[in-house]
């Protein structure tokens, strides 16, 4: 049984997957198998993805006896992103198609638009991916800008997924770089999960771990090959990204694919981070976050927590949630939305002093084993940076328009923004956050 086949035994939503050169030809038989009652399909694409794959998918479906209609987003070729008005446009086009089953042809934006539109209509869809640009093809949820804020809206993952690696190999280099950056993030995210597992916050799910971490090092081994469009390397990258989505389905959680680095990205999502008027890609934000997360975990490993003075750290902790809540306006100056989110999220993981005592005692008593596991999991910071540069992804926040001062402010707020437990939380709870911020962003800091 291949890893894809094993994953499909545990996925909640996706029931078929084809990845490889020429895989676009599998779209028609997959459609007929997954939608046996459907007489028609509606392809949703844009002028670019229509040219590289949409027309081929349409021809294959017609040859298989399926009636085909099409909705081309922004047929004039103008740029767009995943906003809720586009969800409504796609939803209305699907609804007007007379019961056609949707086929999304594109990458992250088109997939998210069709995913959410299909969910609102109570129907399923399949996706034909055209780039190795992110891990969302087979993940539940859609990243949509709604009410002026980027949000993850609930929806099921596709019923079927096709990614033609030959087509993905011809995608713009920055799309491949974005997908590679999204995947290298799984290394420090795995380290975060090891910590969370130890302290009893979120147990490691064996299959989800295997799907993501098993092929990860091999997938990341040749960033230059990915950058040059080598089909074999792109195929591995596509498989790694799809596996990440499958792992999230198997666990019904984004934990297998998301750590501190994703919270940095989400923080900037809330600020609508743009360069030259265009949103920075998810992968590029996550890649920069991966550098910071890796540096954070390396900093943590420089400290011998087997000698941790637990009682001193407990005494220094906030006495109650209201005490920490009072600090949020200064942590997030001029950002009321961030304050509201922190009030909701941090309340869910804020430990009482007794709970903190138990947690830190576990870390102290198991530091030898934990530190060994973290060292084995992590990729050295210099190597992370080298690989990001080799694939063409940013490794410095200034490359995506974020100053050192702004990055420092972001990082200081990150532990408060999600109920999930990360390595940054442990740094905060052992009282090392001020020292970490100086280490990362101070004069001569590793990210300064």
End-to-end alpha-carbon separation of the chain, Å? 47
Beta-strand runs (E) in 172-284: 274-275, 278-279
Q: Count the neighbouring beta carbons within 10 Å of the beta carbon of residue 194.
A: 19
Q: What does each C-alpha distance from 21 to 18, 165, 228, 282, 331 come to in angstroms?
A: 10, 5, 16, 26, 49
The C-alpha angle with vertex 210 and arms to 366 and 281, in degrees rounded to 5, equals 100
Domains annotated on the chain, with CATH: 3-170 (3.40.50.1970), 178-202+253-441 (1.20.1090)
CA 128 – CA 104 distance, rounded (Å): 6
CA 243 – CA 235 distance, rounded (Å): 12
Residue 318 pLDDT? 97
Residue 136 pLDDT? 86
CA 110 – CA 67 distance, rounded (Å): 21
Residue 144: beta bridge partners? 151
Pairing of strands 40-45, 67-72: parallel
CA 180 – CA 287 distance, rounded (Å): 8
Those residues with Cβ within 8 angstroms of residue 332's Cβ, 6 or more apart along the chain or in another chain: 338, 339, 342, 413
Assigned token pair, 95: 């609804």
Residue 319 pLDDT? 96
pLDDT lower than 70: segments of the chain = 148-149
Closest CA to 13 of 216, 156, 161: 156
The C-alpha angle with vertex 359 and arms to 358 and 363, in degrees rounded to 5, equals 115
Pairing of strands 149-153, 142-146: antiparallel
Regarding pTM above 0.85, the answer is: yes
Type and span of the H or E element at 162: strand 160-164
325 contacts 332 by C-beta, under 8 angstroms: no
């Amino acid at each position: 049984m291949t890893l894809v086949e094993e994953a499909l035994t545990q996925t909640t939503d996706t029931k078929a997957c084809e990845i490889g050169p020429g895989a676009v030809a599998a779209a028609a038989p997959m459609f007929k198998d997954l939608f046996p009652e459907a007489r028609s399909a509606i392809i949703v694409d844009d002028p670019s993805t229509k040219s590289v794959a949409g027309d081929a998918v349409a021809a294959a479906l017609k040859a298989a006896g399926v009636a085909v209609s099409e909705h081309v987003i922004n047929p004039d070729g103008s740029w767009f992103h995943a906003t809720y008005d586009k969800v409504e446009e796609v939803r209305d086009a699907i609804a007007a198609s007379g019961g056609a089953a949707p086929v999304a042809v594109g990458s992250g934006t088109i997939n998210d638009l069709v995913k959410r539109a299909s969910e609102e209509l109570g129907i399923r869809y399949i996706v034909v991916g055209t780039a190795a640009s992110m891990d969302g093809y087979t993940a539940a949820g859609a990243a949509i800008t709604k009410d002026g804020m980027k949000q993850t809206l609930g929806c099921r993952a596709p019923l079927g997924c096709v990614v033609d690696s030959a087509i993905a190999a011809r995608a713009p280099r920055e799309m491949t770089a974005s997908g590679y950056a999204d995947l290298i993030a799984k290394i420090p995210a795995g380290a975060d999960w090891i910590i969370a597992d130890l302290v009893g916050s979120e147990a490691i799910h064996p299959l989800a771990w295997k799907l993501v971490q098993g092929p990860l090092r091999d997938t990341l081994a040749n960033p230059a090959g990915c950058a040059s469009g080598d089909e074999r390397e792109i195929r591995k990258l596509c498989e790694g990204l799809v596996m990440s989505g499958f792992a999230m389905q198997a666990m019904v959680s984004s934990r297998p694919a998301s750590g501190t680095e994703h919270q940095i990205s989400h923080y900037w999502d809330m600020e609508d981070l743009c360069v030259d008027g265009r949103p920075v890609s998810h992968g590029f934000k996550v890649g920069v976050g991966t550098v910071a997360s890796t540096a954070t975990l390396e900093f943590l490993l420089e400290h011998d927590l087997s000698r941790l003075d637990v009682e001193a750290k407990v005494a220094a902790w906030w006495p109650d949630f209201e005490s920490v809540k009072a600090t949020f306006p200064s942590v997030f100056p001029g950002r009321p939305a961030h304050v509201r989110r922190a009030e909701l999220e941090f309340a869910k993981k804020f430990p009482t002093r007794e709970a903190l005592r138990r947690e830190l005692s576990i870390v102290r008593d198991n530091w030898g084993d934990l530190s060994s596991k973290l060292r084995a999991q992590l990729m050295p910071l210099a190597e992370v940076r080298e690989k990001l540069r080799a694939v063409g992804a940013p490794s410095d926040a200034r490359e995506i328009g974020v100053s050192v001062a702004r990055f420092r402010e972001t990082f200081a707020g990150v532990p408060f923004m999600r109920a999930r437990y990360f390595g940054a939380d442990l740094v905060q709870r052992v009282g090392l956050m001020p020292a970490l911020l100086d280490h990362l962003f101070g004069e001569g800091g590793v990210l300064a």
